[in-house]
Structure 1
Amino acid sequence: MTDTTPTPEAALKALRWPLRLTRAGMVAERLSRAFWPLASLGLAVVAVLFLGLNDTLSRAAFWALASGLGILALVFLALGVRAFRWPSRAAALDRLDRTLPGRPIAALSDSQAIGAGDAASQAVWRAHLARMAAQARQARPVQPDLRVSDRDPFALRHVALTAFLVAVVFGSVWRVSSVADIAGPGGGALAAGPAWEGWVEPPAYTAKPTLYLNDISGPTLRVPEGSRVTLRLYGQVGALSLRETVSGQGGAAPADGAAAMAQGFDVVRPGELAIDGAGGRSWQVVLTPDAAPKVALDGPLKVEADGTMSQPFAARDDYGVVGGRATITLDLDAVDRRHGRTAAPEPRDPLVLDLPMTITGDRRAFTESLVENLSQHPWAGLPVQMVLQAEDAMGQTGRSPPEKMVLPGRRFFDPLARAIAEQRRDLLWTRDNGARVARLLRAVSFQPDDLFRDEGAYLQLRVAIRRLEAGIADGLTVETQEEIAQALWDIALLIEEGDLSNAAERLRRAQERLSEAMRNGATQEEIAELMQELREAMQDYMRQLAQQQNQDGQQQAQNGEMQEITGDQLQQMMDRLQQLMEEGRMAEAQQLLQMLQQMMENMQVTQGQGGEPSPGQQAMEGLAETLRDQQGLSDEAFRGLQDQFNPGQQGEQGQQGQGQQGQQGEGQGQQFGQQQGQGQGEGQQPGAGGRPGDLGRDLADRQRALRRELERQQEGLPGLGAAPEGQAAREALDRAGRAMDEAEQSLRENDLAGALDDQAEAMEALREGLRNLGEALAQNQQQRQQGQSMGRAEGGGERRDPLGRERGNVGRLGTDDQLLQGEDVYRRARDLLDEIRRRSGEQDRPDLELDYLRRLLDRF
């Protein structure tokens, strides 16, 4: 019987290609591990030659570096030859075998140890060899592992490869020939004769391309000012020389040395550029001038009601403006030198503001606006001169002509706030006005009950006056001057804007400010802002009315107690008021504003059904009472803090030379504080007697009681659903509670200043909670009474359609009023159409009303 057992040679014959490829991979793997330093060094040297960095070296430095690199290359070559071992066929077979399950290649070379004479054992052995041969035929070439990171932890091979790729992209293979120039006589450059290369690189900001001088054959060369000229001379030293008069250096190129073969300079003036020698060339260099930038005002100054100014300007430059600034100086000759400005002003540095640059677009020509609020600057409201200055990339500047103007500042319409702001300006004019300012402020605050709506503003003013008088006695410093000026500014803002938590008071305040502005001839921008404030206050007031509105107003309607006014009627009155002011008819606008005030005063607010307050109203009233108690507690802590800094001073006493007038002012201020502090649970004037620690503990106990009252009110809040306003109200009340806890802790530690900060935070959180709670209640009321106007002051059925027509009782739709009376019938029609469009865009209106409005628009 013929033996068909496969031999190892026959099985391995089928593996010749996988074996060859695996062995080749092993060769590459061992070469990379042995010669990677030599390859990295070769790539680095080629990169240096391609980039021409060798041209920057002198001959001595070149030979020294070349010798060092040659020695290093020999060392790397010797180490690589020593480390390299040619892979054997057995090693390749072993690597290939390790990739197969069961090591079939090694199994094919095995021989049968026992059972050689047994036919059954031989059959099993042959079957085993057949299976191993079949598995061996599944072998695939093994990929080599070319990683050498364990031998090159600093990745120097990657650095060399990166440098080589950069040299290939940005360098030139022809620069390798410069090595022969450095090597000396006999080089290739000498055999080819002298040669040169040159480049002119304009400044980067011009965005112009680099010029290759070898390609320019004309006699004239136009380049921008500040361009960089780079020349490379090849061949025998002295065969070519450079001659130029454009750099302003006034000297020729060096006659000998390697420095004469590579030169660079900037072009600063027109002149001649020439290369003398065989193949040389010359040009007349003409400079393209870089003009200075230009900047000028580009429109009138715009001022908003809060004092923010917006001054348009235009700037341009042939290559682009890189920066600019506005310099404002006081025009002392134009200042009205009366009252507090009689004395010489203190010297102040000019006010310098950076001009805004356009972010997108071309900076060679653009327009922008300088927007700043300089209301707190000492020169606000005084004549000044503004000069704009622009700068280009070359450093050249352009200036605009001086523009005379009055430095805009915030206008105060409240007489008391305006008086305090004027005294602040006089104090900043010069510290010599300190005594005069203190006297006038005492005179202004002589009768606080008639002037101050908020005791806090009065107390802050008295502290500022005392601080000013103490500073005058000790010598008023600049720091004290600025501190008092900031305090007076905050007091004026507090008086002007108020700290109003009640919508009705805010509405009345907005009406007073608008009336004062019309009497004082305010600008259109100021009137527009005050009008917007009035609209917002009116909306808040109407929301408060909606919250307190009776759900069933029939009973009051039968008793004749209901006065109805729709939101549309109020909107029409507001629009008419704004139209009169825009047309300059201030007398008529004043009359209409008075009518609006009387109308709002006559509106009655119902409280729940049958005269019983609703849960929402009870919560609002309770939180408002808590806010008032917290305000009173904060005032007492403030007076206690005053007594700590001024022990022994009570009421009208004064230790700094105060006159009878100042004593009366302080006495009335104390009476004013006592009136505001009534109902707080304490009849004794805080700080009047006892130790400071006793006062702190007493205030801390009252603060804790107020905190518990707030917790009780939070537990009794009505259900607000998942509305964002309701959630915001709860979060605000939680913040108020935490602030009260911190205030209590500060009071127990007798830290009255820290307690005042915490109490102020608590009051602000309470106000925010009141606003959010009111909005949440108003939304709930609106959902319950869809189809009814939220602007009515009393409950009752909606009696008008969106056009203001009576709906009637038995299906009659119309009105007896003449809607088209007057001369301008078409304007009235346009107004009606615009109003329909406006209402149709309000998505919170009922779907039935929106459908009706759209049908009207489709028809007309």
Structure 2
Amino acid sequence: MAEKGTPPPDILTPIRWPLRLTLWGMSAERITRAFWPLWSLLLAALGLLMLGVQDLVAVEWVWVAGAGFAAALLWALWRGVRMLRFPTREEALARLDATMRGNPIQAALDDQAIGAADLGSQAVWQAHQARMRARLAEAKPVEPDLRVARADPFALRYVALLAFVAALVFGSFLRVSSVTAMGPSGVDLVSGPAWEGWMEPPGYTRLPSVYLNDITAPGIDVPEGAQITLRMYGEVGSLSVEEDVSDRAPVPEAQQETAQDFAVVRSGRLAIDGPGGRAWEISMKADTAPTVAREGEIESSYEGDAQIPFAASDDYGVVAGRARITLALEEADRRYLLATEPEPRDPIEVPLPMPIAGDRAEFTETLVENFSEHPWANLPVRLELSVEDEAGQRGVSDMEVITLPGRRFFDPMAAAVIEQRRALLWTRENVPEIARILRAISHEPDDVFRSAVPYLRLRTILRRLEAAGPAMDDAAQEELARAMWDLALILEEGDLASALERLQRAQERLTEAMKNGASEQEIAELMQELREATDDYLRQLSRQAQQQGEQNPEMAQSQDMMEMSQNDLQRMMDRIQELMEQGRMAEAQEALEQLQQMMENMQVTQGQQGQSPGEQAMEGLGETLREQQGLSDDAFRDLQEQFNPGQQGPQGQQGQQGQPQGQSGQGQGRDGEEGRDGQGQQQGQGQGTEQGQQGQGGQQSLGDSLADRQQALRGELNRQRQNLPGAGTEPGEAARDALRRAEEAMDGAEEALREDDLAGAIDQQSQAMEALREGMRNLGEAMAQQQQQNQGQQGQAQGGNPGQQRDPLGRNSGANGQIGTDENMVQDEDVYRRARELLDEIRRRSGEGERPEAELEYLERLLERF
């Protein structure tokens, strides 16, 4: 065995600081493992004191808890002292040497045991010593291992740390001193007992809280329902509370409690008796119930939309309201088919509209509803309005008898059908009489029907009525009522074909009369018939264009053309009548032929209306953007599921039950895309729920499903980019470049999804959506430039300049064809309801955290503005 000699003093010089830091780290390890219960107890106790737990319980419990804490603290200190053993320098050398290759510290301290007299052996030893000492310069201090998980398997130290962090956020160091006021010693021997008090008004009043210690006035104005909080410190019983503003029973023991909370329900006196006490006269401000009343005249539109104005007020604001409508049976004209007792029906209840923005303490709004199809339409009803405030108080208006507005039918046959429909809904006992009346009024169909279609419909309704009889069920009754309503609309409004046939017949009769030299009175009657037929045809044409415009907004520009053509037609008919009155029949005949040609051209123009390639491309890109948004939403939900498995609540349950998650509120805004995606989520998440060991595989298959969808969407975008119009123009090329970047981002998102990198996929998808939006903006500019170049030719073809045309939202375009205007986007008659729907949709979307940050910021700016 070799003997170790005395090493030169400079051997360990290179490892002086690494050795010292390693020794300190080992000391920190042993201190941590010995005293972790001690500092855990200290942090937990300090956190509870900062949160003011001692003020919420009786003082006896505080002393018991303090004694228990002191015992635990002594045990933790004794345990730490017993376990603590500081490391030696040799132990630090051994740990540092073990971290280096070849144990150079031990080798540097060794002496040559054999071959000391051999020169070759000495040379080898010296070379080995030099190599080992060179390695000493590479020594690094060993990091201490401060983990105590083996000694603390329940992670109690983290519980204590959490309590302390919560106290730092929600508590205060000043509340720790309140524990010293619970005994007869310390500072309280000098300062005596103390108290604190707060008055917190109800949240809906939006009034600030009041610190009672700062109130020196003898009286306080307090809103009804305010919460009084009192805390007494010091010897129990030295301070007591006397009050008669709450519903508490005056129990002497309760008056001396250190923590008291009660609500103000009446005016009265509040006093704190004892050293430093104070008293106030509480003047309660009662929360009055809201009020509502109908004001102004009730109006209705041609379509039957009822407009019922009302005014509501409350001292703090109205939160909701309802309108209740019941039949005023004693006020109705009970003749004919209304003489029998009606079938029972539930009252009509509709919510009252509330102001979108601003103060709801006092406002005026208008309830807009269409009751035309209800059996009580155009009958006397009782109207009752009610509103409610946040305190739950309810205000009701006076009961008022009004005629329930509904659509009126001016065509005699349509009005008769509607009258029989009301009789059918009144009671099914009227069915035999209804059938007889319908047969009687349709006995001569050629005199009352313009075409065979409504007559055949009426015959079908008659057969079903007679077959069902008074014993028909509810479904049959509702189905027959719907059929009769549709028939009345056809009879009242007609259709485009019947209106055109009537117009052509009037033109032929007028032409024949002019050729045969009819009298002035006959020609005047025929001219009036032509005017009426023309008005009917234009009205039907406008209605059809409006319906097509609702389905396809790009068709809305045809309305302007028809309105202008109608003015031209009226001037031409005035000219024809003037020529006929002057006896200039040849010129009148020529003008009538021009009128016929204009009507035919109007018909052709209406039938040839369609979408341009640019509009089709814009619509396709919009659909691609919506699908990409839906795909990004699904990826975000899957990312949440990875970090919080099982935390999706009802959506996760729906997925397990076989219902796609896309059927929830969010999925409905993407044209059913969520519904298709939900099946993939069901397969991935359902397997992960039922078989925990297969959860990883389920997520992988789900990622592949999202990647396949992303690949298909990228292919569709590539096809759209190849067929994009506007080639050769600067905006068109910019649009193609933006779509190319969107395609590259989709490709990156697909790769990230296949690698199960959902976070990276979401970032790439966000870039793709931004590039898509930029491409759509550039395409819109290219379309506007093309429209500006062709505005002369298009203006002649469509009967108006570009400034009179309309964009897909129904707004007027600018004079140069550019999209953008300050005109109101809401073109409906019910402007307020549409505004409310838009604001509710913005609020719903702003609450969806999975949407891109830029979109959420835009939605927040909209909410701040409105």
Residue 240 of structure 2 corresponds to residue 241 of structure 1? yes
Identify which of 363, 366, 373 aligns with 2:360.
363
- Matched residue, 1:166: 166
Q: Secondary structure at the match of 1:436?
A: helix
CA distances 1:38-59 after superposition (whole Å, capped 9, x unpaired): 4333322222222222233335
Q: Does the C-alpha gap of structure 1 residues 61 and 431 become closer, same or farther in structure 2, counting only changes over 3 Å?
A: farther
Q: Residues 404 and 57 of structure 1: is their aligned pair in 2 closer, same or farther, counting only changes over 3 Å?
A: same
CA deviations over 1:53-72 (Å, ceiling 9, x no partner): 22333355445544554555
Contact preservation (8 Å) 2:431, 2:470: no
AA partner of residue 198 (structure 1) = G
2:343 and 2:7 map into 1 onto residues whose CA distance is: 112
In 2, the alpha carbon distance for the partners of 1:173 and 1:205 equals 32
Distance change in 2, residues 1:473/1:379 (3 Å): closer
1:350 aligns with 2:347: yes
Contact in 2 for aligned 1:8/1:108 (Cα 8 Å): no
**2:320 aligned partner:** 323
Alignment of 1:573 onto 2:565: yes
Q: Does the CA contact (< 8 Å) of 1:254 and 1:260 recur in 2? A: no
Describe the shift of the 1:173–1:416 C-alpha distance in structure 2 as closer, same or farther (beyond 3 A): same
**Is 1:260 matched with 2:257?**
yes
% identical equivalent positions: 49
* Partner residue, 2:283: 286
Which residue does the alignment assign to 1:42? 42
CA contact (8 A) 1:511 1:597 kept: no
- Is the contact made by 1:325 and 1:390 (CA closer than 8 Å) also made in structure 2? yes
Structure 2: distance between partners of 1:469 and 1:55: 81
Q: Deviations over 1:138-176 (max 9, x none)?
A: 444444444556666665544433332332344344444
Cα distance change, pair 176–114 in 1 and its aligned pair in 2 (3 A): same
The CA distance in 1 between the partners of 2:454 and 2:445, in whole Å, is: 10
Q: What is residue 273 of structure 1 aligned with on the other side?
A: 270
Offset from partner CA, 1:785-828 (integer Å, 9 cap, x none):
x999799xxxxxxxx799x9xxxxxxxxxxxxxxxxxxxxxxxx
CA distance in 2, matches of 1:126, 1:456: 118
CA distance in 1, matches of 2:137, 2:282: 78
Question: How far did 1:239 drift?
Answer: 2.2
Q: Distance in 1 between matches of 2:226 and 2:602?
A: 82
Q: Write out per-residue CA displacement over residues 6-60 of structure 1, whole angstroms, 9 at most, x where no aligned residue.
A: 9586343333333333333333344444544443333222222222222333355
- Give per-residue Cα distances to partners, 1:77-124, cap 9 Å, x unaligned: 566566655444444445444555565445434555665444455445
Q: Which moved more, 1:217-226 or 1:129-138?
A: 129-138
- Distance change in 2, residues 1:144/1:602 (3 Å): same
Bigger Cα Rg: 1
**Residues 578 and 91 of structure 1, relative CA distance in 2, 3 Å threshold:** farther
Distance in 2, Cα, partners of 1:24 & 1:578: 103
Q: In the comparison of the two structures, how many residue pairs are matched? A: 582
Q: What is the deviation of 1:228?
A: 0.9
For 1:211 and 1:35, locate their aligned partners in 2 and report how far apart those are by CA, in whole Å.
Answer: 45
- What SS class does the counterpart of residue 566 from structure 2 fall into? helix
Q: Which amino acid in the other structure matches residue 288 of structure 1?
A: K
Distance 1:535 1:131, change over 3 A: same
Q: CA deviation at 1:229?
A: 1.0
Q: Which amino acid aligns with 1:409?
A: G
Assess if the C-alpha contact under 8 Å between 1:507 and 1:534 holds in 2.
Answer: no
| SS in structure 2 at match of 1:47 | helix
1:440 paired residue among 431, 437, 441: 437
- Whether the 8 Å CA contact 1:238–1:255 is kept in 2: the answer is no
CA distance in 1, matches of 2:283, 2:133: 85
Which residue pairs with 1:381 in the alignment?
378
Q: 2:61 aligned with 1:51, yes or no?
A: no
Deviation at 1:221, TM superposition (A): 1.5
| Amino acid corresponding to residue 25 of structure 1 in structure 2 | G
Residue 838 of structure 1 is matched in structure 2 by 803
TM-score w.r.t. the length of structure 1 is: 0.55
Quick one: distance in 2 between partners of 1:470 and 1:270?
72
The equivalent residue for 1:211 is: 210
Measure how far apart 1:270 and its partner are. 1.4
1:335 aligns with 2:317: no
Distance 2:571 2:299 in 1: 21
1:242-265 Cα shifts (integer Å, max 9, x gaps) = 11121144x5352479x6222111
Change over 3 Å in CA distance of 1:116–1:379 after alignment to 2? farther
SS in 2 for 1:434: helix
Select between 235-244 and 17-26 the one with higher mean Cα deviation.
17-26
Secondary structure of the equivalent of 1:260?
Answer: coil
Return the offset for 1:358. Answer: 3.9
Moved more, 294-303 or 196-205: 294-303
Q: Residue 387 of structure 2 aligns with which residue? A: 390
Spell out the pairing of 1:420-439 with structure 2 (5 A cutoff). 420-439=417-436
| Equivalent residues of 2:499, 2:540 under 8 A apart | no
Output the amino acid matched with 2:277. G
Note the alpha carbon deviations across 1:397-437, whole angstroms, 9 max, x for none: 33445565443334557665554433222222233323333
Partner Cα separation in structure 2 for residue 511 and residue 237 of structure 1: 102
Query: Residue 533 in 1 paired to residue 543 in 2?
Result: yes
Q: Relative to structure 1, is the Cα distance of residues 837 and 484 closer, same or farther in structure 2, using a 3 angstrom cutoff?
A: closer
Are 2:803 and 2:816, in contact at CA under 8 Å, matched by a contact in 1? Answer: no
Q: TM-score, normalized by length of structure 2?
A: 0.55
Q: 1:531 to 1:244 in 2, by over 3 A?
A: farther
Q: Which residue identity lines up with residue 573 of structure 1 in the other structure?
A: S
2: CA distance between counterparts of 1:98 and 1:25? 15
Label 1:276 to 1:495 Cα distance change in 2 as closer, same or farther (>3 A). Answer: same
Task: Report the 3-state secondary structure (helix = DSSP H, G, I; strand = E; otherwise coil) of the residue aligned with 1:440.
Answer: helix
Within-5 A mapping of 1:716-795: none
Partners of 2:105 and 2:201 lie apart in 1 by: 71
What amino acid does structure 2 have at the position aligned with 1:214?
N
User: Cα distance 1:224–1:605, how it changes in 2: closer, same or farther (>3 A)?
Assistant: closer
Q: Distance in 2 between matches of 1:460 and 1:36?
A: 89
What is the deviation of 1:275?
1.4
Are 2:45 and 1:10 equivalent residues in the alignment?
no
CA distance in 2 between counterparts of 1:579 and 1:38 reads: 101
Structure 2 counterpart of 1:554? none
Structure with the bigger percentage of helix: 2
Tell me the distance in 1 between the aligned counterparts of 2:549 and 2:231.
Answer: 80
Cα deviations by residue, 1:444-491 (Å, 9 ceiling, x for unpaired): 6667798789999878766665665565454x5556544543454456
Distance across 2 between alignment mates of 1:539 and 1:135: 85
C-alpha separation between the residues in 2 aligned to 1:215 and 1:186?
A: 27
Distance 1:537 1:361 in 2: 35
Write the distance in 2 (CA, Å) between the matches of 1:46 and 1:579. 92
Q: Partners of 1:338 and 1:140 in 2: how far apart?
A: 107
> Cα gap change, 1:33/1:408 in structure 2, threshold over 3 Å: closer, same or farther?
farther
Answer yes or no: is the 8 Å Cα contact 1:115–1:121 preserved in 2.
yes
Q: Do the aligned residues in 1 keep the contact of 2:312 with 2:318 (CA within 8 Å)?
A: yes
Query: Cα deviation per residue 1:374-417 (whole Å; 9 max; x = unaligned)?
Result: 33322223333433322212222334455654433345576655
- Cα distance change, pair 378–56 in 1 and its aligned pair in 2 (3 A): same
Secondary structure in 1 aligned to 2:341?
coil
1:285 offset after TM fit, Å? 1.2
Match of 2:27 in 1: 27
